[in-house]
Amino acid sequence: MTAVRTDTRRLELIGFALVAVFILIFLPSVLDVFRLNLFGKYLTYAFVAVGLVLCWGHTGILSLGQGLFFGLGGYCMAAFLKLEASSVANTKIQSTPGIPDFMDWNQLTGLPFFWVPFKSLPYALIAVIAVPTVLAFILGAALFKRRVGGVYFAIITQALAAVMTILIVGQQGYTGGINGITDLRTLLGWDIRTDSAKFILYFVCCALLLGSMFVARFVLASKLGRILVATRDQEDRVRFSGYDVANYKIFVFCLASAMAAVGGAMFTLQVGFMSPSFVGIVPSIEMVIFCAVGGRHSIVGAVAGTLLVNWGKTMFSEAFPELWLFAMGGLFIAVVVAFPRGIAGLMTDQILPKLASWMGSGHAQPSPAPAPAE
């Protein structure tokens, strides 16, 4: 509508284009397959960060349990891959051939009923989205209808992430326990461990991420997006304008969870296993930090933040493994204290206006310079 608004819209599209160029062209051309696969893994976290932009940045719902949904998506994918890897031929040394190895070690003699449907890929793919979304719906309906919000919601989601970890670790005959579901090999006969498969999966991941970003953008640009912002700022006014606020929160929470789940499934495919260490409190909070560093109001910022922090983590922990956690903590404090709107906020509030003024009035339009991580 306004000059300012169209400007931010255009900036956002430029940001999208930069992200696309960066992950689709730049990274594949400078990185070997090992590093590219590593960035593919980072990108799976970016799905979660984009979801957090929707539910945290724009609606004000801080979920500290997104790892739960990431993990569920990942586990649904892993279940299918594990069953395919556990054919009778592959597992004939087991006491019960044809079931996953960890079940055999735990004296299970048959496939549990809830594992059976995961023999079908279409079912597994539907489950990747449906299981986390249904859980998010139940959680959202239970909490938002009762007007649980703010810090209470954050604590409950965090507790649930912890519960899920404990459940997975405790029920190792059904879930693979603390080791997770490992030794995944093929997808409908296609070996996902080869370099060429990793290369292709990286691009699938990129495409899905860009798709998620566009979905997020569509939602935020609609009237629903403005209702989310309105809810964040003046929940009562929205309610007294005749909207059922809880429904909007449930919707956005489900959408964020579905995105996290897609990320989890892509993680399983690219990394080749899924374990409880991606479900619990620590990964959930890390994902919030990715989003906060990048800028919780900006889709592009969240993706950039995720890549930057993870790349930093890899670089840093290769050099000083024991110091990484302190660096991460310091980074979070720095974000909260110094630039609460993250990198994206720094860009739009500080750097771009300065650039524009440096370029002087000779140029009618300020041309945004590419950010290092975009």
Partner 1 sequence: MSSNTDFLLALESVGVSFDGFKAVNDLNLYIDYGELRVIIGPNGAGKTTVLDLICGRTRVSEGSIKFKNQEITGCKEQEIVRRGIGRKFQTPTIYEDLTVFENLELSVPRGRNVAGALFWKRTDEVIERVREIAAMIFLREQLDWHAETLSHGQKQWLEIGMLLIQDPELLMLDEPVAGMSASERTKTAELLKQIIKNRSVIVIEHDMKFVESIAHRVTVLHQGKVLAEGDMQSVQNNAKVKEVYLGH
Alpha helices by DSSP H, listed for the chain, are: 3-21, 27-30, 33-52, 66-85, 101-105, 121-144, 150-170, 172-175, 195-221, 223-233, 235-239, 245-271, 281-294, 299-319, 324-338, 342-346, 352-358
Q: Are 256 and 52 in contact (CB under 8 A)?
A: yes
Establish if 196 lies at the interface with partner 1 (CB under 8 A).
no
The correct pick among 234, 350, 357, 367 for binding partner 1 (CB under 8 A) is 234
349 touches partner 1 (CB under 8 A) = no
Residue among 122, 189, 242, 372 that touches partner 1 (CB under 8 A): 242
Q: How far apart are CA 97 and CA 308, in angstroms?
A: 44
d(CA 161, CA 169): 12
List 187, 229, 331, 355, residue binding partner 1 (CB under 8 A): 229
Measured from the Cβ of residue 364, the count of other Cβ atoms closer than 10 Å reads: 5
**Which of residues 87, 171, 194, 241 is near partner 1 by CB under 8 A?**
241
Shortest gap between Cβ of 143 and partner 1 (angstroms)? Answer: 17
Report which of 252, 57, 248 is spatially closest to residue 239, judged by C-alpha positions.
248
Nearer to partner 1 (CB atom), residue 4 or residue 30 = 4
**Closest separation between CB of residue 214 and partner 1, Å?**
14
- Residue of 240, 322, 358, 365 that binds partner 1 (CB under 8 A): 240
Q: Is 215 in the site for partner 1 (CB under 8 A)?
A: no
141 binds partner 1 (CB under 8 A): no
Selection from 326, 333, 284, 328 nearest residue 309 by Cα: 328
**Least CB distance to partner 1 at residue 267 (A):** 28
Residue 238 interacts with partner 1 (CB under 8 A)?
yes
Q: Binding to partner 1 by residue 146, rule CB under 8 A?
A: no
Rounded least distance, CB 238 to partner 1, Å: 8
The full DSSP string for 33-54 is HHHHHHHHHHHHHHHHHHHHII
Q: Could you give the CA distance from residue 257 to residue 113 in angstroms, rounded to a whole number?
A: 25
Q: Which stretch binds partner 1 (CB under 8 A): 20-28, 124-132, 231-239, 305-313?
A: 231-239
Residues in binding contact with partner 1, number by CB under 8 A: 26
Task: Report CA torsion sign: 115, 171, 159, 313.
Answer: negative
Residues within the interface to partner 1 (CB under 8 A): 1-2, 5, 219, 222-224, 226-227, 229-230, 233-234, 236-245, 247-248, 251
